[in-house]
Structure 1
Amino acid sequence: MKLPLPPFMRTTTFRLAVVHALMFLFFTFGLLVYLFYSTAGYMRSESVRELDGEVQALAAAFNAGGMDRLNQSVIERSSVPGPFFYVLQDPTGQSVSGDFATIPDDLPDRGSRETNFSYQTLNRNGELETRSANGIIIRLPNQASLLVAYDLGTRTQIVNRITRTVWTALPIGLAMSLIGGLIISRSAARRAEQLTRTTDGVMSGDLSSRAPVVGSGDEFDRLSERMNAMLDRLEQLMLTTRHAGDAIAHDLRSPLTRLRNRLEADLRDGEKVNRAESIERTIEEVDAVLATFNAILSLSRVQAGNAARFQDIEVSELLSELAELYEPAAEEAGLEFSSEIEPGLLIEGDKSLIAQAVTNLLDNAIKYTPEGGAMTLRARKTRSDEVELSVTDTGPGIPEADRERAVRRFVRLEASRTQPGNGLGLAMVDAIARLHQGRFDLSEGPGTPPNIGLRAALTLPTEV
Structure 2
Amino acid sequence: MRLPLPSFVRTTTFRLAVVHAVTFLIFTFGLLIYLFYSTAGYMRSQSVKELDGEVQALAAAFNTGGMARLNQSVVERSSVPGPYFYVLQDADGQTISGDFPSIPDEVPDEESVETNFNYQTLNRNGEIEVRSANGIIIRLPNGAALMVAYDLGQRRQIVDRIIQTMWTALPIGLALSLIGGLIISRWAARRAEQLTRTTDGIISGDLSRRAPVIGSGDEFDRLSERLNAMLDKLEHLMMTTRHAGDAIAHDLRSPLTRLRNRLENDLRDGEKVDREESLERTIAEVDAVLATFNAILSLSRIQAGDAAKFKQVDISMLGEELAELYQPAAEDEGLSFDSEIEGGLTVDGDRSLLGQAMANLLDNAMKYTPKGGAMTLRVRTNSHDQAEISVTDTGPGIPEADRERAVKRFVRLEASRTQPGNGLGLAMVDAIARLHHGKFELCDGPGEPPATGLRAALLLPKAQE
Query: Alignment partner of 2:133: what SS?
Result: strand
Equivalent position of 1:421 in the other structure: 421
Give the conservation status (yes or no) of the 8 Å contact 2:392–2:456.
yes
Cα deviation, residue 101, structure 1: 4.5
How far, CA to CA, are the matches of 1:252 and 1:230 in structure 2? 32
Aligned to 1:215: 215
The superposition leaves residues 280-337 of structure 1 with CA deviations (integer Å, 9 ceiling, x where unpaired) of: 2222111111111111111111111111211111100000111111111222222221
1:433 aligns with 2:433: yes
Q: Does 2:446 correspond to 1:446?
A: yes
Residue correspondence of structure 1 range 268-287 to structure 2 within 5 A: 268-287=268-287
Name the residue aligned to 2:391: 391
1:74 aligns with 74
Question: 1:93, CA displacement in angstroms?
Answer: 4.8
Letter of the 2:344 counterpart: G
8 Å Cα contact 2:445/2:454 also seen in 1:
yes
Q: Distance in 2 between matches of 1:220 and 1:162?
A: 43
Q: What is the match of residue 131 of structure 2? A: 131
**What is the CA–CA distance in structure 1 between the aligned matches of 2:253 and 2:238, rounded to whole Å?**
22
Counterpart position of 1:5: 5
Counterpart of 2:423, as a letter, is G
RMSD: 2.0
Note the 1:54-133 alignment, pairs <5 A: 54-91=54-91, 93-121=93-121, 129-133=129-133
- Equivalences for 1:345-360 in 2 at 5 Å? 345-360=345-360
Q: Secondary structure at the match of 1:375?
A: strand
CA distance in 2, matches of 1:122, 1:322: 117
Displacement of 1:171:
1.5
CA distance in 2, matches of 1:310, 1:139: 96
Q: Deviations over 1:146-182 (max 9, x none)?
A: 2211121221111111111211222122222222222
Report deviation, 1:120.
4.3
SS at match of 1:293: helix
Kindly indicate whether the alpha-carbon contact (under 8 Å) linking 2:365 and 2:392 is maintained by their aligned counterparts in 1: yes
In the TM superposition, residue 119 of structure 1 has moved relative to its aligned partner by 3.6
Question: Partners of 2:79 and 2:451 in 1: how far apart?
Answer: 119
**Matching residue of 1:251:** 251
Specify the code of the residue in structure 1 equivalent to 2:168. T
Give the counterpart letter for 2:433 in structure 1: A
Post-superposition Cα deviations, 1:372-412, rounded to whole Å, max 9, x if no partner, equal 22111111123443211111111111111111111110001
Deviates more, 1:259-268 or 1:388-397: 259-268
Which secondary structure does the structure 2 equivalent of 1:443 belong to? strand
Q: Which residue of 1 aligns with 2:404?
A: 404
Code of the aligned partner of 2:264? E
Query: What's the CA shift for 1:52?
Result: 1.3
Q: C-alpha separation between the residues in 1 aligned to 2:109 and 2:379?
A: 112
Q: Is contact 2:17-2:178 (8 Å) kept?
A: yes
- Say yes or no: does 1:304 pair with 2:285: no
* TM-superposed deviation, 1:133: 1.6
For residues 78-124 of structure 1, give each alpha carbon's deviation from its aligned partner in whole angstroms, at most 9, with x where no partner exists. Answer: 34443222222344555433334444444445443322233444556
The amino acid of 2:226's aligned partner reads R
- 2:219 and 2:235 map into 1 onto residues whose CA distance is 24
User: Which amino acid in the other structure matches residue 138 of structure 2?
Assistant: I
Deviation (angstroms), 1:68: 1.4
| Partner deviation per Cα, 1:173-208 (whole Å, 9 max, x = no partner) | 222222222222222222222222222222222212
Q: What is the identity, as a one-letter code, of the residue corresponding to 1:353? A: L
Structure 2 gaps, min length 5: none
2:363 alignment counterpart: 363
Work out the CA distance in 1 between the residues paired with 2:125 and 2:338.
116
Matched, 1:34 2:30: no
Q: Give secondary structure in 1 for the equivalent of 2:410.
A: coil
Displacement of 1:279? 2.2
The 10-residue stretch of structure 1 (182-191 or 111-120) with the greater mean CA deviation from structure 2: 111-120
Runs (5+) with no aligned partner, structure 1: none
Distance 1:127 1:392 in 2: 114
Give the TM-score, by structure 2 length: 0.94
The number of aligned residues is 464
Shift of 1:362: 0.6
Partners in 2 of 1:463 and 1:100 — Cα distance?
A: 101
Partner of 1:24: 24
CA distance in 2, matches of 1:345, 1:22: 65
How far apart are the structure 2 equivalents of 1:264 and 1:111? 130
One-letter amino acid of the structure 1 residue matched with residue 372 of structure 2? G
The residue aligned with 2:191 is 191
The amino acid of 1:323's aligned partner reads A
What CA distance in whole angstroms lies between the structure 2 residues aligned with 1:141 and 1:268? 144
Q: 1:175 to 1:258 in 2, by over 3 A?
A: same
Q: 1: distance between equivalents of 2:160 and 2:254?
A: 98
How far off its partner does 1:340 sit? 1.0
One-letter identity of the residue aligned with 1:243: H
Distance in 1, matches of 2:386 and 2:33, equals 67
Aligned 8 A contact 2:346 2:463 in 1: no
Residues 463 and 121 from structure 1, CA distance in 2 versus in 1: closer, same or farther, beyond 3 angstroms? farther
Structure 2 CA distance for aligned equivalents of residues 64 and 237 of structure 1: 104
1:27 Cα deviation after fit = 2.4
Amino acid in the other structure paired with 1:53: G
Take 2:422 and 2:162, find their aligned partners in 1: how far apart are those partners?
86
Distance (whole Å) between structure 1 residues aligned to residue 145 and residue 67 of structure 2: 11
Distance of 1:316 and 1:204 partners within structure 2: 52
Measure the CA separation in 2 of the matches of 1:432 and 1:133. Answer: 92
- DSSP 3-state at the match of 2:449: coil
Q: In 2 relative to 1, CA 123–382 (structure 1 residues): closer, same or farther, beyond 3 Å?
A: farther
The amino acid of 2:141's aligned partner reads P
Gap change, CA 1:394 and 1:131, over 3 Å in 2:
same
Question: Which letter does structure 2 place at the counterpart of 1:308?
Answer: A
Deviation at 1:218, TM superposition (A): 2.5
CA distance in 1 between partners of 2:14 and 2:83 (Å): 54
1:20 offset after TM fit, Å?
Answer: 2.2
- What letter is aligned with 1:245? G
Per-residue CA distance 1:326-372 (angstroms, 9 max, x = gap): 11122222222111111100111111100111111111111111222
SS in 2 for 1:418: coil
**Kindly, what percent of the aligned residue pairs are identical?**
79
- Residue-by-residue CA offset, 1:245-268 (whole Å, 9 max, x unaligned): 111111111111222222222233
- Distance in 2 of aligned mates of 1:221 and 1:384: 34
User: Which deviates more, 15-24 or 305-314?
Assistant: 15-24
> What is the CA–CA distance in structure 2 between the aligned matches of 1:268 and 1:338, rounded to whole Å?
52
